[in-house]
C-alpha cells in the first residue's frame, strides 16, 4: 500500500528566508568539519535501504511511489545520510566527511502535527566516517559547538539521550542499548510545554562501516552523523525571534545574505 501525504503548507517570506539561511548558516558553522557538500535526489535506491537494514528495522516508515507502470516503484528518502555510505562501499579510507541536505519523508503511522512533525521535511546532516578516535573527538567537538550555538540564539535546551531508534531497530533491546551507550542525543527545547528535538548527534559505531564494507587502515570504519530538522529550526526560530528579520541574532545573519 502506498502511504499518501496530505499536508497544507502556509509559507511566509520570513519562513523562506529562515529556511535558506539555516541551511547556509549550518554549512558555514560546520565548515571546519567536512570536505564535501552533497545534495542527493528525492528518491533512494532500494539496495541502499536493504544494505542499511532499513527494510528490516523500519519498513513502516517508508513512502513508496510508483509511476504509471507499477514496476517503476521507488522510495522517498527517509534520512539524508543513507545516500552517503554506499558511495564508499568496499573502500579503505582515512577520513571522509560531507554535509548533506535532502528532502525526506517518513510515514510514522500518520502521527503528524504541524509545525514540528511533518510527513515530508528537510534534513541537513554532517556525516563523518573514519577511525574510532576520529569519531570520538568529533562527537565531543560538535556537541560543544552546537550547545554554545543554540544557547547563544536563545534556544534554551539541552542534549538528552534519545530512545527513538535510528539504525539499530525499534525493539526494546535495541532501544535500551542505544540509551545506555548514549548513541543518540537530541537537542531538546520546549514549545507549548512539549519537547521538540531540533537536532540529533548519532554515533553509529561500526554499523554502517560493517554494512557497506568501509574500512580504515586497521579496522572497520566508525561513523557519526549530526542531523538538523530544517523545518523545525524555522518554526522554532519564528517562535523565539519573531518574523522581523531585524530581530534575528547577528551571529545568525552575518554568515548569510538576508534580503528584505
Element (DSSP H or E) covering residue 12: none
Interval 55-73: pLDDT, tens:
998 999 999 988 776 667 8
H or E element in which residue 161 lies: strand 157-161
Confidence of residue 116 (pLDDT cuts 50, 70, 90): confident
Number of domains forming the structure of the chain: 1
Cis amide bond preceding 242, omega within 30: no
Residue 92 lies in a domain: yes
Domain membership of residue 78 (yes or no) is yes
Q: Check which CATH number belongs to the domain holding 163 and give it.
A: 3.30.930.10
Q: Which value, to the nearest 10 degrees, does the dihedral of the CA atoms of residues 223, 226, 227, 228 take?
A: -170
Q: Which residue has the higher pLDDT, 147 or 181?
A: 147
Amino acid 131: pLDDT = 97
Could you say which DSSP state residue 60 is in? G
Q: Is residue 162 part of a domain?
A: yes
Q: Is 22 a member of any domain?
A: yes
Look up the domain containing 96 and give its range.
13-253
Amino acid at each position: 500500500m502506498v502511504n499518501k501525504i496530505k499536508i497544507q503548507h502556509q509559507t511566509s517570506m520570513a519562513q523562506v528566508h529562515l529556511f535558506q539561511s539555516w541551511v547556509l548558516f549550518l554549512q558555514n558553522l560546520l565548515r571546519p568539519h567536512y570536505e564535501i557538500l552533497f545534495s542527493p535526489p528525492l528518491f533512494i535506491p532500494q539496495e541502499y535501504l536493504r544494505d542499511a537494514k532499513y527494510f528490516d528495522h523500519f519498513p513502516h516508515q517508508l513512502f513508496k511511489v510508483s509511476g504509471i507502470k507499477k514496476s517503476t516503484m521507488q522510495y522517498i528518502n527517509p534520512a539524508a545520510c543513507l545516500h552517503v555510505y554506499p558511495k564508499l562501499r568496499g573502500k579503505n579510507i582515512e577520513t571522509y566527511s560531507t554535509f548533506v541536505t535532502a528532502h525526506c519523508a517518513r510515514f510514522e503511522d500518520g502521527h503528524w502535527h504541524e509545525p514540528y512533525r511533518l510527513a515530508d521535511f528537510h534534513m541537513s546532516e554532517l556525516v563523518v566516517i573514519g577511525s574510532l578516535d576520529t569519531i570520538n573527538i568529533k562527537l565531543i567537538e560538535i556537541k560543544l559547538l552546537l550547545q554554545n550555538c543554540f544557547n547563544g540564539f536563545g534556544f534554551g535546551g539541552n542534549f538528552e539521550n534519545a530512545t527513538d531508534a535510528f539504525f539499530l531497530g525499534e525493539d526494546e533491546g535495541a532501544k535500551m542499548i542505544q540509551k545506555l551507550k548514549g548513541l543518540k542525543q537530541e537537542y531538546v527545547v520546549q514549545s507549548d510545554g512539549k519537547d521538540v528535538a531540533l537536532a540529533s548527534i548519532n554515533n553509529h559505531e561500526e554499523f554502517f562501516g560493517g554494512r557497506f564494507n568501509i574500512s580504515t587502515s586497521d579496522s572497520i570504519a566508525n561513523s557519526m552523523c549530526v542531523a538538523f530538522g530544517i523545518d523545525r529550526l524555522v518554526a522554532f526560530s519564528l517562535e523565539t525571534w519573531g518574523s522581523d528579520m531585524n530581530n534575528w541574532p547577528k551571529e545568525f545573519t552575518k554568515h548569510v545574505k538576508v534580503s528584505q
